[in-house]
């Protein structure tokens, strides 16, 4: 098990598809996913019964580097506590303690944030990469229309937010080419300049 609880330990890690996991309690883990693009995503994993449960916390860039693991571990304990609540009423606050202000610069692309999402199975294999104005709504669309035969394999997802659709499209194309998700077709295995896998909705 890799240690990710110190700035020094995290600096020694190399990018890869699967998160690095560190145990914080029985069956409870904090994960850190490092991409070759430089993107960082913190994740939680908790085994309750015979199932693994996941939650994504995002980049946590709004927190000081030294405080990110501590914050993730605190949220992880809140996350696991909801399964011990017989009424399922335990609340989970995943918001960082300090707000972040992001300057939005004018550009030629479509304005407004756009999500880049990745779906993973329980073995941390990357299933699919896509973009959408709402990653959650897009997931429901995959589930509803039945066209995505792999949707039942999804165990968790990670989400990054970019300020414009154009930026998200470029990052999606790069992610698919480099990370080789199992169920993307466009951009996967070719350098041809083709249309995006899915547009923002």
Report the chain (201 residues): mean pLDDT per 10 consecutive residues.
Answer: 90 91 93 87 88 84 87 87 56 39 38 78 88 80 69 82 81 87 77 38 40
CA angle 61, 65, 66 (to 5 degrees): 145
- Output the pLDDT for position 122: 84
Q: How many CB atoms lie within 10 A of CB 31?
A: 24
B/e letters for 38-73, b = 16+ CB within 10 Å, e = fewer, are: ebbbbbbbbeeeeeebbbbbbbbebbeeeebbebbb
DSSP state of 19: P
Q: How many angstroms separate the Cα of 175 from the Cα of each of 82, 126, 179?
A: 34, 11, 6
Q: What is the pLDDT of residue 96?
A: 40
176 near 198, Cβ under 8 Å? no
- Note the pLDDT of residue 108: 38
Look up the pTM and report it.
0.51
């Amino acid at each position: 098990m890799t240690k990710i609880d110190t700035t020094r330990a995290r600096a020694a890690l190399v990018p890869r598809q699967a998160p690095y996991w560190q145990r914080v309690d029985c069956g409870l883990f904090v994960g850190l996913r490092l991409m070759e693009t430089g993107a960082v995503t913190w994740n939680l994993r908790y085994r309750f019964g015979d199932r693994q449960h996941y939650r994504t916390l995002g980049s946590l860039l709004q927190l000081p580097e030294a405080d990110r693991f501590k914050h993730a571990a605190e949220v992880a304990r809140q996350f696991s506590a909801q399964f011990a609540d017989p009424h399922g009423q335990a609340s989970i606050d995943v918001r960082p303690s300090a707000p972040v202000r992001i300057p939005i610069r004018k550009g030629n692309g479509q304005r407004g944030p756009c999500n880049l999402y990745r779906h993973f199975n329980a073995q941390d294999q990357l299933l699919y990469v896509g973009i959408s104005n709402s990653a959650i709504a897009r997931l429901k669309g995959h589930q509803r229309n039945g066209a995505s035969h792999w949707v039942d394999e999804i165990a968790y997802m990670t989400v990054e937010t970019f300020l414009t659709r154009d930026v998200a499209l470029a990052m999606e194309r790069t992610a698919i080419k480099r990370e080789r998700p199992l169920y993307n077709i466009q951009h996967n295995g070719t350098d041809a300049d083709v249309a995006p896998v899915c547009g923002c909705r």
